[in-house]
Amino acid sequence: MKKLDFKPLKLLIYLILFQITIYFFTKLIQGTPHIIGSTLDNKLPFINIFIIPYVLWYLMIFIVPYIIYKKDKNKFTEYFICYFITIIIANFTYLIYPSVIIRPNIENTSLLNIITNLVYSVDTPALNCFPSIHCAVSMMFILYTSTTKNIDLKYKISIFIISILIMLSTLLIKQHVILDLISGDILALIVFLIIRNNKKVTNKFKKLLRI
């Protein structure tokens, strides 16, 4: 049995704590949010089983980069930088264009509904939706696993499918709207392309992170 490497896990915890902190302060100082959504969003059904991939994201933010770290530390460093920059840009967007969505009232008639309402209660009101961090990071899962050579194909396919399901889940449990999904994916893709193969920046971060 391979020994668990705590180095990347510690770095990921620091990254998530940074995300939580900046998100908290953004909420404190932002202005009146704009209600976003479209007719198409209203037509999308609420499907409670999609709460499963939505919640699975909270495990994937540790599992996927850990896999990348074990296969290619340069790719892990790029992932770390991409995540860091994406969070900063997203929260800056929340400041200049705060957003909110109107969620449906879900009765606790099943375990999946109860879990959904629990997620709702943690994130009430549904502020700072545009762009979606859930979708941006899920896109990063796809981008970085697909470009890391040493990851087995079965893992790449599994991560791709789960990531797509997570993106769909943001719409089908009514946590986000289509604009949030698209903007999150585009943001992640742009940052990915900017820092991709930038050895100078990657090496500086590797030294900083002591990888």
Mean pLDDT by 10 residues, the chain (211 residues): 85 97 90 92 97 98 98 97 98 95 94 97 85 98 96 97 98 97 98 92 92 89
pLDDT at 17: 97
Residue 91, in any domain of the structure? yes
Please report whether residue 34 resides in a domain: no
Q: Are 144 and 176 in contact (CB under 8 A)?
A: no
pLDDT value of position 1 = 47
Q: Is residue 9 part of a domain?
A: no
Q: Residue 120 belongs to what domain range?
A: 43-199
User: What confidence score (pLDDT) does residue 79 get?
Assistant: 98
**DSSP reduced 3-state for 46:** coil
pTM value?
0.94
Q: Is 54 exposed, middle or buried (0-12, 13-18, 19+ CB in 10 A)?
A: buried
According to the model, what pLDDT value does residue 127 have? 85
Classify each residue of 95-104 as buried b or exposed e, where b means 16 or more C-beta atoms within 10 Å of its C-beta. eeebbbbebe
Q: Is residue 100 part of a domain?
A: yes
- Is 56 a domain residue? yes
Question: Does residue 139 lie within any of the structural domains?
Answer: yes
DSSP class of 100:
E
Question: What pLDDT was estimated at residue 82?
Answer: 98
Instruction: Tell me the two tokens of residue 199.
Output: 């050895």
Q: Does a structural domain hold residue 69?
A: yes
pLDDT score at 42 = 94
Domains held by the chain: number: 1
pLDDT in tens, 161-202: 999 999 999 999 999 999 999 999 999 999 999 999 888 999
Q: Indicate whether 125 belongs to any domain.
A: yes
